[in-house]
Amino acid sequence: MKKAMKNISHLIVLCFAAIGFSSFAQDIHFSHIEHSPLTLNPALCGANSPMQAVINYRNQWSKVGVPYSTVAASFDARLNDGYYMKEGNFAMGINFFNDQAGAQRMTTTIANLNLAYHLMVANESTIGVGIYGGYGQRAFNDNGAQWMSQYDGTSWNGNVASGEAFGSPNFKYFDVGAGVVYTYLVDGGYMTQNLKKVINVGFSASHLNRPKYSFLQLDNERLDIRYSAFANADLGIENSRMRVQPGLFYMRQGGHQEIMFGSNFGYIIHEGSRSTGFTRPITFYTGVYYRLKDAVIGRIAFEYDVFALGFSYDMNTSDLAAVSKTVGAFEGFLRYNMGDGGGFRMGKKINRVRF
C-alpha cells in the first residue's frame, strides 16, 4: 500500500509539473538569462565585450523527486576588435549546454557555433545580426522506468508489460537560428561621474529548420520555433555609486510562453582607476525578478574588475508550489568579461560597460 501511494504521489507530481511547464517555453531557461547571452540571442555574440566567457549552473525542483540540472558554457570574441573601423566588427562564439531531467535522466545536449556582425548606425548605436548552427542530442535511460500501464490497481507491477516501444533511446538533430540586437551606449567619462549607459533590445528565432524531435522517429513530431524578445539596460546614476539594471524577457515556443521582468540594483564598493589600472573596481548587485505565473526570483552578484559571480533562487508561485514546497531552483554563473576597449564610435575606440 505504501508503494502504491508513492507511485500515485509521483503521478501527482508529474501533473503539477505539466501545469508548471505551461507557463514557460519548452527549451532550457535560466533565471540569469542575460548571463547566458548566446542562449538568449545569437546576435549578442560580440555585442557587449571584445571577449567574454560564461559558465552557468541550474538545479531545479530538488523537492520534487530527482532534481533537474543544467550546465551551460559559452565563449564569444570579436575578430577585428582593436582596429579603428568606422563600419563595425565581426564576432564568433561557441555555445554549449547539457540538461538532465528526472529519474530516467532525460538528457539534452547542444553545441552551437555563432557568427555575428555589428554595424555602426550612429555615434552611440550599433545594430548586430547573428546566426547559429549546431547539433543537438536527446537521450534517456529506459532501465527501471515505471509506466502508468504497469499499475495493476494496487501498486506498480514490473511483470506487467508497459506497452511502450521506442525506435531508439536517443536521437540527434541539426539546429539553426538567427537574431538581431540594437545597442545604444553612452560613454561614462570618469568612474566617479558614473555616466555610462547601455541599452540592448533584441529579437531572435531558434530552431528555424524545425528539426525532427521524437524518440519514435515520427516525421510530424518537430521542435517548435522559439521566438525571443528582450530589452535590458545598465544605467549609472550620475555622481553616485548606484547603478540600475532593469530587464524584460519574453519567449514563446508552440503553445507555451515565458515572461520575466525585474531589475538589479548595483552599488560600487570600490572605484577602479582608469589611468594607472592598479585599482580594480568592485561592485555588489542585488535584485528581484518575477517569472509570470511561475516564480519570484531573488538575485545577488559580485563583480571584481573583469570577473563576476552571481547566484539566484527561484521561489515557486505556481500550482507546483504545493509539491515543491516553494523550492524552485538554485542557479549560479561565473563570467569573464574583458569589458574595457569594446565598441566603436566613428572610428574611435570607446569603453563598453559590462553587464
Give the CATH number for residue 260: 2.40.160.40
354 located within any domain: no
C-alpha cell at 342: 569594446
110 located within any domain: yes
Contact (CB, 8 A) for 40 and 184: no
* Residue range(s) defining the domain that contains residue 113: 2-152+171-349
159 located within any domain: no
Beta bridge pairs of residue 260: 249, 291
Which pLDDT band holds residue 191 (cuts at 50, 70, 90)?
low
Structure-model confidence comparison of residues 177 and 317, the more confident one: 177
161 located within any domain: no
Maximum mean pLDDT: which of 194-198, 239-243, 287-291: 287-291
- Has this prediction a pTM greater than 0.85? no
Q: So what's the pLDDT on residue 345?
A: 36
Count of CB atoms situated within 10 Å of the CB of 143 = 8
Secondary-structure breakdown of the chain: helix, strand, coil percentages, each rounded to the nearest 5: 10, 50, 40
Which pLDDT band holds residue 78 (cuts at 50, 70, 90)?
very high
Q: So what's the pLDDT on residue 11?
A: 39
Q: So what's the pLDDT on residue 49?
A: 86
Q: So what's the pLDDT on residue 322?
A: 57
105 located within any domain: yes
- Count of structural domains, the chain: 1
Contact (CB, 8 A) for 301 and 322: no
Contact (CB, 8 A) for 300 and 332: no
355 located within any domain: no
Q: Residue 65 above 90 pLDDT?
A: no
What would the mean pLDDT of 76-92 be, rounded to a whole number? 76
Contacts of 172 (CB under 8 A, 6+ apart): 135, 136, 137
The Cα–Cα gap between 313 and 327 comes to 8
Q: So what's the pLDDT on residue 251?
A: 95
Structure-model confidence comparison of residues 239 and 40, the more confident one: 40
What would the mean pLDDT of 207-222 be, rounded to a whole number? 82
Beta bridge pairs of residue 156: 151
What would the mean pLDDT of 167-173 be, rounded to a whole number? 78
Which pLDDT band holds residue 70 (cuts at 50, 70, 90)?
very high
Which pLDDT band holds residue 167 (cuts at 50, 70, 90)?
low
50 located within any domain: yes
Count of CB atoms situated within 10 Å of the CB of 228 = 23
208 located within any domain: yes
